[in-house]
Chains A and B, each alone.
Chain A
Amino acid sequence: MMKLKNSATAKTMTALIYAFIGLFTVLCLAPFWLMIIGSLTKESSILRDGYQLWPQEWSLTAYQVLFASERVTRSYKVTLEVTLLGTAISMLLTSMLAYALAVRGPKYTRFIALFVVFTMLFTGGLVPWYILITRYLRLQNTIFALTLPYAISPFWMFLMRNHFRSIPESIMESAYIDGAGDLLILFRIMLPLSLPTLATIGLFYALMYWNDWYLSLMFIERRELFPLQFLLRSLVSNLMNVAISLNPKMTVMTEVPAYSVRMSTAVITIGPIVAFYPFIQKYFVKGLTVGAIKG
């Protein structure tokens, strides 16, 4: 009797747990739903009834406007270039520094490690950083302003160093004996032995570049160099902007479906992330679980 009652409560509890998780998941998904449906709703329908979870009238105009807009294609290209160039620079600099700090022979590399750690503790703050980059390095309005300031993340660099250290030293030693130099060891031995870790760190870098709008807010004034995220920001911050942002030749009077275009721009911005997500999820999970334990 007792046992029966217990198993009944256990079943209810399990059901409640599944239901709560399901509800939370649906709430997590709702914003994406709103975005996609909003991008497919006829503008007049949004103006009349607001963003709905199921539209009265469907329309593809918001996407037609996007693909016809030179600005959007250009911004997409900028984002792609920034992501590819940035990730390439980041991976190259990060792996070389991580290797140098992982090798056990040289004596002064621990000072280099301290030199890096200190930047995680104390910074000069935003204003001197901005003045340096715009007045002295003069990087504003170049693609380098969107990549170089983020080149190495100390966190991922130390993660890679720890990974290199976990590779048995005997492998390196035998390579040394065979006459291999450090560059050769890094590129021919260490990196090929670290592919999953490289994929993880590379994906986090790529995501950072893809999602960034802070550097463009700081350093980019030329519209031709606006990344997608920054274009999207200008669409959100000002509806009047939409017409001008998408097509400079268009007069403000021309009708642009501003509300649905916001959503369609957001959809194409997250498109690649969502499309690749099923394949890359395990690398993100790996990065977080390794990274959280020790940076």
Chain B
Amino acid sequence: MIRKPTVLSEIARHKTVYLMALPGVLFFFVFFYMPMPGLIIAFKNFKMSLGIWGSPWNGLDNFRFFFSSGIALRVTRNTLSLNVLFIVSITFFQVLLALLLNEVRSGPYKKITQSVLFLPYLMSWIIVSVIVNGFLGSDTGTINQLLVYLGLEPVNWFSRAELWPTILVVLNVWKWTGYGVVIYLAAITGIDGTLYEAATVDGANRLQRVWHITLPLLKATVVILTILSVGRIFYGDVGLIYGIIGDNAVLFSTTDVIDTYVLRALRTSSDLGMSTAIGLWQSVMGFLLVLASNKMANHYERDGALF
């Protein structure tokens, strides 16, 4: 008689493998699953002194306040609109530079420019904030010095909220272009060379080859990467926004995203119940979007998705 394999016998049989997985499993359990029950703070009038379980329930009050005060609208709108701006601008420059670099003959020029383009990817947003201060500082900033030199009025960059979406787009393009160039150039290199040869024989010029061969074949990569970033659209880039804007309240109207709002609430220990509610709203919406985008990516191309 063959004994039915039980859970225990299976684990005993592959003891070493399961033991090797254990530290990793513990890591995910502790840092990702253990915080999850803490989400009930969203439904409580949370006081640090009373703790998670001791604080009194207050039903949906946190959500009601969050949505009726206009905060929800502001931070959600900023998160979504900034992310859309980022996705569009970054993708545009990544594809453009990859296409152009592909036209450059292999050699030192190509190597050096590509290396330089990639360098910003390795910089932290704190380094970027030093740079931003160097260029945009009100008295010592290079740009204001230049404006004065040209006889123009200097701009007080750090108090003009309407300018910051553009500034953040520029910084993002600076940081991410080289990264995308690497990915898109790899995709272009993967394109079958005989296609170009055939097109050349048929009399297609350079522009036509790019337009009719490279771009359509690159579309798959662009679409997949875009769908995947759309899946993350409810998550703001804390590093970028908190690293550079910090606690400068003058700029919040255009730059405050869900993540920075929650972060500040935590740092000032103000109304943690409500900021957990905002976090929950973000997690749920983010979850739905990731699932949807993943489904789309799978639909668009088998195996194109993350999981």
Contacts and interface: CB of A to CB of B under 8 A. Distances in A.
Contacts of A129: 31, 35, 38
A100 B15 CA distance: 11
Contacts of B239: 214
A97 B51 CA distance: 34
Contacts of A262: 130, 133
B269 to A, nearest CB: 10
A68 interface: no
A127 B128 CA distance: 27
Contacts of A122: 283, 286-287
Contacts of B177: 24, 28
A60 interface: no
B20 A186 contact: yes
A34 B118 CA distance: 18
Contacts of B283: 122-125
Contacts of A130: 266
Contact of A120 (B116, B263, B280, B306): B306
21 contacts: A21-B97, A21-B100, A24-B113, A97-B21, A101-B21, A109-B21, A115-B28, A119-B33, A125-B283, A127-B266, A127-B279, A128-B39, A129-B31, A135-B51, A186-B20, A214-B238, A232-B126, A266-B130, A270-B123, A273-B123, A292-B186
A218 to B, nearest CB: 8
B20 A182 contact: yes
A67 interface: no
Interface in A100-123: 100-101, 103, 105-109, 112, 115-117, 119-123
Contacts of B178: 28
The 5 lowest CB-CB distance pairs between A and B, nearest first, are A128-B38, A125-B279, A97-B24, A124-B35, A100-B21
Contacts of A21: 97, 100-101, 104, 113
A108 B11 contact: yes
Contacts of B16: 181-183
Interface of A is mostly: helix
Given A25-B117, A103-B17, 6 more contacts: A21-B101, A21-B104, A35-B134, A49-B145, A50-B140, A93-B23
B14 interface: yes
**Of residues B11, B131, B145, B263, which shows the largest number of chain A Cβ atoms within 10 Å of its Cβ?**
B131
B23 A97 contact: yes
Interface string B183-194: 100100000000
B100 A35 contact: no
Interface in A126-154: 126-133, 135-137, 148-149, 151-152
Contacts of A192: none
Contact of B14 (A105, A131, A229, A273): A105
Given A115-B28, A117-B307, A124-B35, A107 B100 contact: no
A257 to B, nearest CB: 12
Interface of B: 7, 10-11, 13-14, 16-18, 20-21, 23-25, 27-28, 30-39, 41, 51-52, 97, 100-101, 103-104, 109, 112-113, 115-124, 126-131, 133-135, 137, 139-142, 144-145, 174, 177-179, 182-183, 186, 205-207, 221, 225, 238-239, 242-243, 246, 259, 262-263, 265-266, 272, 275-276, 279-280, 282-283, 286-287, 290-291, 303, 306-307
Interface string A180-215: 011100100000000000000000000100011110
B122 A277 contact: yes
A211 B131 CA distance: 15
Interface of A: 6, 10, 13-14, 17-18, 20-22, 24-25, 27-29, 31-32, 34-35, 38, 46-47, 49-53, 92-94, 96-97, 99-101, 103, 105-109, 112, 115-117, 119-133, 135-137, 148-149, 151-152, 157, 181-183, 186, 207, 211-214, 217, 229-230, 232-233, 236-237, 259, 262-263, 265-266, 269-270, 273-274, 277-278, 281, 284-285, 288-289, 292, 294-295
Contacts of B51: 135
A24 B117 contact: yes
B305 to A, nearest CB: 9
B258 to A, nearest CB: 10
Contacts of B116: 25, 28-29
Contacts of B306: 120, 295
A212 B207 CA distance: 43
A151 B27 contact: yes
A256 to B, nearest CB: 15
B272 to A, nearest CB: 5
Given A46-B140, A105-B17, A284-B118, A124 B134 contact: no
Contacts of B179: 288
A123 B32 contact: yes
A278 B111 CA distance: 11
Contact of B25 (A97, A181, A277): A97
Contacts of A137: 30
Contacts of B39: 124-125, 128
Contact of A152 (B27, B186, B207, B282): B27
A289 B142 contact: no
A38 B28 contact: no
Nearest to B24: A97
Contacts of B144: 50
Nearest to B33: A119
B191 to A, nearest CB: 14
A288 B183 contact: yes
